[in-house]
Amino acid sequence: MNKRNCHITFIFIVITIVITYNYSYANDTLNPCYDLQEEYIYKFSIDLFEEGEYYRAITEAKRYISYFPQGKNVEDMYKLIGDSYLMSNEWSDAINAYDEFIGSFPNSPFINQIIFYKAICLVKKNDYKEAKRLFKQIVDSHSPLKKNESILWKISLLIQESNFEEIEKLLNDESIRQEIGQKIDIIKQTLSLKKKANYKSPVLAGIMSSILPGSGQFYNERYKDGIYSFILNALFILGAVKAYTDENYAVGGILTIFEAGWYTGNIYSALNGAQKFNRKINEDIFKISIGNFGLLENEVRRTPKISVIFRFPF
C-alpha cells in the first residue's frame, strides 16, 4: 500500500469514528427529549379529556398516534379517541373509533370495555339487534369485565321488545343467575310492569275514528286531538250537506273533497297516535328498567390514571 492510499484509509477511518460518535451522542441527547415529548402529549390529551375538551383531546391523541405509533401509551390513546366521541354524543364516530381499537388491539385487557361502549352507542342509535349481539359476546367471554352490566343491558332490551321467552331462558341459566344475583327480583318486577302495561290497538283506534271521527283519538287519550278532529269533520260534513241541499253543487263538491282529506287524516292520526302511545310506554319502561338495574352511570375509562363518569340520559 503506497503512502497516498494510507492517508486515504486513515482519513476514512477518522471520518467513520467521528460520524459514529456523533450519531451515538445525538441519540443519547435526543432520546430524553423524545420521551419527554411523548409523555407531554399523552398527559396533555388526558388533561383535555378530564376537562371536557373532548375534540381537542381527540386531536392530541391522534397527534400522539402519528408521532409515536409504537409508543407505550398508544393503546390508551386509541381508547381515549373512542371515549371522547362517546362523551360528545357522536355515536357513529365513537363506533368507528372503537372498531379501530378492536382491530388494532384484539387482545387488549380493555377489549370488553371497548365492546361494551360500542354496544351503548348502538343502543343510542336504536340498533338494538347488534347491541344485543355485542352484549352477548361480552357475557360469553372469559373476562368478567363488564359481564354483569352486559347481562342487565341485554335483559333491558329484551324487556323493551317484550321478548319474555328469551328473558326466561336467561333467568333459568344458573351462570346468569349467579352473575346478576339480587337483581333477579327487580327484573321480575319490571317484567310484571311490562306485561300489565295498557297498550292501545292501532287497528281498533282506526276503526273507531272511521265510524266516529275523533273517537280513536279519545281512545288513545289524546283528547284535544279528538275534539279538534270531531269538530273539523263535523263542520265540513254539515257544510257539504247544506251546500247539496241548497243545490250549490260546486261548493258541495269542494267541501266533500276537503272532508275526504280530513276524514282520512283523522283515521291516520288515530292509527299513528296508538303507535306513539305504545312507543312511549316502551320507552318509559326501558328507562325504568335501566334505572332499576343501576345502569344510569358507568365509568367510561377505567385505567390506572383515569376514571370518568358518563351518564346515559335515555
Mind listing the pLDDT tens digit for each residue in 31-62?
555 566 888 899 999 999 999 899 999 999 99
Note if the pTM is more than 0.85: no
- Beta pairing partners, 297: 311
Rounded to the nearest integer, the mean pLDDT of the chain is 83
Taking CA atoms, 156 is separated from 95, 135, 205, 286, in Å, by 21, 11, 29, 6
| Predicted confidence band of residue 179 (pLDDT cuts 50, 70, 90) | confident
Q: Which of 61-65, 131-135, 177-181, 228-232 has the lowest mean pLDDT?
A: 177-181
> What is the predicted pLDDT for the residue at 26?
39
Cβ neighbors of 312 (< 8 A, separation 6 or more) are 120, 290, 295, 296, 297, 298
120 pLDDT more than 60:
yes
303 pLDDT more than 70:
no
Average pLDDT over residues 191-218: 91
Q: Express as a percent the part of the chain with pLDDT over 70.
A: 82
Name the domain count of the chain.
1
23 pLDDT more than 50:
no
> What is the predicted pLDDT for the residue at 299?
58
Cα–Cα distance measured from residue 123 to residue 130, given in angstroms and rounded to the nearest whole number: 9
In a domain, 226, yes or no: yes
CA nearest neighbour of 72 among 99, 41, 98, 48: 41
Q: Which of 12-16, 59-63, 118-122 has the lowest mean pLDDT?
A: 12-16
Average pLDDT over residues 235-251: 85
Domain that holds residue 232: 202-278
Cα–Cα distance measured from residue 198 to residue 118, given in angstroms and rounded to the nearest whole number: 33
The more confidently predicted of residues 16 and 248 is 248
In a domain, 139, yes or no: no
In a domain, 71, yes or no: no
Range of 97-101, 180-184, 228-232, 303-307 with top mean pLDDT: 97-101
29 pLDDT more than 70:
no
* Residue 28 and residue 21 in contact, taking contact as beta carbons nearer than 8 Å: no
In a domain, 9, yes or no: no
> What is the predicted pLDDT for the residue at 300?
64
In a domain, 73, yes or no: no
| Predicted confidence band of residue 306 (pLDDT cuts 50, 70, 90) | very low
- H-only helix segments in the chain: 3-50, 54-67, 74-87, 91-104, 111-124, 128-140, 147-160, 164-171, 174-180, 183-195, 202-211, 215-219, 223-245, 249-292
In a domain, 192, yes or no: no
> What is the predicted pLDDT for the residue at 15?
56
In a domain, 165, yes or no: no
290 pLDDT more than 50:
yes
In a domain, 251, yes or no: yes
| Predicted confidence band of residue 92 (pLDDT cuts 50, 70, 90) | very high
β-strands 307-311, 297-302 pairing? antiparallel
Cα–Cα distance measured from residue 232 to residue 266, given in angstroms and rounded to the nearest whole number: 10
